[in-house]
Structure 1
Amino acid sequence: MTDPTPIFRSDLLASGITADELRQALRSGALAPVAPGAYLRRADADGLDDVARHRARARCVQHALGGDAVLSHVTAALFHGADLWNPGLSRIHITRDRRSGGRRTDHLHVHTAPLARDEIFVAGAAAVTAPARTIVDLARSLTVDEAVIAGDSLLRIHPSALMGVPGALDAAAQRCGVASARRVVGLLDGRSESPGESLGRLRLRSAGIPEPSLQRELFTPDGTFVARVDFFWEELGVVGEFDGMGKYGAGDPASTAESVRREKLREDAIRDLGFEVVRWTWPELFRFDVVVDRFARAVGRARHPHPPTATTPARRTPRAAIHPARG
């Protein structure tokens, strides 16, 4: 992750640029304001999306507040490169190791809380809360869906953070929201590879569907790799797949057609191993009863396969060799 470097008014004036020259650079558009007293070159500013703009603003705010200001919560998660769902990006989050002095405005939230040295991490040349601390802070302050998406993503990026989460929870024992955080942490799994997979896992749990294995590799009996699947219920004979749709090459009809063809062949190969396939899309995560019914029908078919007919020839369907995902 490489963000453009902000240019600070104080540095420009110290280098000999006059206030009039600075005003002219702003009027002409050569410089774009990103925070009070901080600017980006116009070419850099125009290339920023909302997340990159938040990070640029955060670096400026941290510079203005001084060395004890550590980026935290949603802001830290963005510096770690985590997935966030519907994040509020208007407010920069800072934590200071102080007993008082917290404040919240439309654009800044200063948290005051104990902050040990091993809870500080350097990301993109900025001091941010370490992954385990960030997971717990988010679990205390976001909804369950939002916190699980962020927590799964942080564990995927920083697997070793899992070892630090219990200690981070203990350190937060007297802070607001820690009871919710303990429940959220019990739901996290860094093997989920997208926000949709994280939400799917939560929806399956809420529906009372047995816990699936995640990211399992399927092979033919002779050892040929067939597929790596999102969700897998070996005993039920069912594979679950979240359709993120982005993989289908939106905007490029030829690419989309080829992606769909390959996905169809992949699904046929999974069925040839004797497994039923249940798929769901992002909108269906919010009307999951449709998926629950689909899952029940798939389980029924897996347990009671249709008898062969003239148009449905009998076939051998040996169950696949199964391995946890590698890497």
Structure 2
Amino acid sequence: MTEPRPLTRPHLLAAGVSDDHIRAAVRTGGLVPLARGVYLRRADHDRLDGPGRHRVRARHVASTLPPGAVISHVSAATLLNLDVWNIDLEQVHVSRTGSHGRRTSNLHVHASTWADGDVVEADGVAVTSPARTVVDLSRTLSRDQAVVVGDSALRKYPDTLDLLSATSASARHRNGIARAAAVVPFLDARSESPGESLSRVRIAESGLPRPVLQHPIVLRDGRRFRLDFFWEQHGVVGEFDGAGKYVDRRDLVAEKLREDALRDLGLEVIRWTWADLARFDVVAQRFERAAARQSTR
């Protein structure tokens, strides 16, 4: 679906819409302000999620930038269609050469330097490359947030993996690079959703063995599946149940039959949800019990 273009005050005035009409439309909800003098029609605003609205704002800001300035950080991530989770989207982020940045309520300008390949084009907008975006966000975000972005970058742009080492090295003197150095080696393209990325973080934090991701398996009837998480040595399968995984009751029944088929292979199955990610000790205990049952067989 094509994302809408924002309406600017000059555009509206040129179309014959007065300031009084603009203010009235904002007051009644027909227009929704995105930034000072920038609006979306209510219907366009409501059909976009948070990252979608941020992309619209970022494209508008990009159209006003001088040469040499590019969209960066989380704003670049949204334009590259990377997964962003629990990240503040109030400010559009821009990077430019120089020694000083600045912030307003709607804009964060970063002083930066550039290496070869750091800037690419996304839908006609100059943005930091997937590798540069991952390194910048790994320096400045929490581990949880950075891993979600980084996993999706490796999944959607496979060549990013080969570029991360050099990109990290070129940022070695920048603030937060030690944090990025801890995140980058952990990234894995096989995580297929933010929930799976966060699950990997929680598994590591809990001290559980590292599972194999997206392990292929063949059931007795010949059906083939991939397992979200598989501890082969322990005979335990881990499945993350994200919101929307079961569209209707038939999906739930199919998943139950699949789980029965996995148990028929002699495997233990443990499951967890978004809520469990906030109390992963409960999941760790499920794993320990499942592994203990396997050890007595």
Both structures adopt the same fold (TM-score exceeding 0.5) = yes
Q: Distance in 2 between matches of 1:221 and 1:259?
A: 20
Name structure 1 gaps, 5 residues minimum.
250-254, 306-327
Q: Distance in 1 between matches of 2:60 and 2:285?
A: 51
Where does residue 320 of structure 1 map in the other structure? none
Q: Distance in 2 between matches of 1:26 and 1:117?
A: 44
Q: Does 1:282 align with 2:281?
A: no
Q: Give the letter aligned to residue 264 of structure 1.
A: K
Where does residue 247 of structure 1 map in the other structure? 245
- How many angstroms does 1:221 deviate by? 6.1
Cα deviation, 1:37-64, whole Å, max 9, x if unaligned, reads: 4444554344333222211111222222
Q: Is the 8 A contact 1:240 1:277 kept in 2?
A: yes
- How many angstroms does 1:110 deviate by? 0.2
Q: Does 1:294 align with 2:286?
A: yes
Q: Distance in 2 between matches of 1:43 and 1:280?
A: 36
- How many angstroms does 1:116 deviate by? 3.5
- How many angstroms does 1:150 deviate by? 1.1
Q: Give the letter aligned to residue 281 of structure 1.
A: T
Q: Distance in 1 between matches of 2:195 and 2:49?
A: 22
Q: Is the 8 A contact 2:237 2:267 kept in 1?
A: yes
Q: Does 1:303 align with 2:295?
A: yes
What TM-score results when the alignment is normalised by the length of structure 1? 0.82
Where does residue 178 of structure 1 map in the other structure? 177
User: 3-12 vs 258-267, which deviates more?
Assistant: 3-12
| Partner residue of 2:19 out of 18, 23, 28 | 23
Q: Is the 8 A contact 1:35 1:60 kept in 2?
A: no
Q: Does 1:215 align with 2:211?
A: no
Q: Distance in 1 between matches of 2:160 and 2:36?
A: 35
Indicate the RMSD between aligned Cα atoms, in angstroms: 2.2
What TM-score results when the alignment is normalised by the length of structure 2? 0.90
Q: Is the 8 A contact 2:138 2:180 kept in 1?
A: yes
Name structure 2 gaps, 5 residues minimum.
none
Where does residue 108 of structure 2 map in the other structure? 109
- How many angstroms does 1:172 deviate by? 0.4
Q: Is the 8 A contact 1:2 1:124 kept in 2?
A: no
Runs of 4+ residues deviating >6 angstroms: none
- How many angstroms does 1:181 deviate by? 0.3
Q: Distance in 2 between matches of 1:259 and 1:24?
A: 52
Q: Does 1:35 align with 2:35?
A: yes
Percent identity (aligned): 50
Q: How many residues align?
A: 293
- Distance change (3 Å), C-alpha of 1:5 and 1:67: farther
Cα deviation, 1:59-108, whole Å, max 9, x if unaligned, reads: 22222232322111111111111222211011111011x22231112211
Q: Give the letter aligned to residue 282 of structure 1.
A: W
Cα deviation, 1:164-192, whole Å, max 9, x if unaligned, reads: 10011011011000011010101111110
Secondary structure at the counterpart of residue 217 of structure 1: strand
